[in-house]
Amino acid sequence: MDLVTLASELSTDPLGRSYSSMSDAAAAADLNTAYRSANRSTMTASEVLNAFDYSEWSALTADQKQLVWNVLHLGELNPFGVEATVLVAVFGAGSDTISALAAARVQSITRAAELGLGTVRAGDVQRARA
């Protein structure tokens, strides 16, 4: 546990979580609650495929479907890379598929994970506050 980072988070409270009024257990619970969001760095082809709207997929031309399959067969995909640009070009920026993919490429994370702390326990908070 990086107690220096944890102590800084607890004392500066940059997100206004009111750590100073929380018990050690409550502060740990708050830090371990997924209320933050972060961009995913990769997605599997299966995750991308499962976000497709079937009616939109069915309406694609054979060439468009082949282009999508070529992208999916890259393996792990960068949801903010050229792969995303290709899918937007194929499905259209306002499509249900692209809306679903935009939502899927962002994940909920804990404040502890955001800070690189892993899981914070009440004892960790107690030591950081000392």
Residues 78 and 96 in one domain: yes
Segment holding 35, helix H or strand E = strand 34-39
**What is the CB neighbour count within 10 angstroms for residue 103?**
9
Question: What's residue 55's pLDDT?
Answer: 96
- Degrees (nearest 5) of the Cα angle 40, 4, 123? 90
- Residue 40: pLDDT over 90: yes
The residue range of the domain holding 89 is 45-104
What does the pLDDT average to over 31-50?
Answer: 94
Residues 13 and 28 in one domain: yes
Residues 61 and 76 in one domain: yes
- Residue 20: pLDDT over 90: yes
Share of the chain above pLDDT 70, in %: 100
The whole-model pTM stands at 0.70
Question: What's residue 115's pLDDT?
Answer: 96
Structure tokens at 98: 């692209």
Residues 54 and 90 in one domain: yes
Question: What's residue 10's pLDDT?
Answer: 97
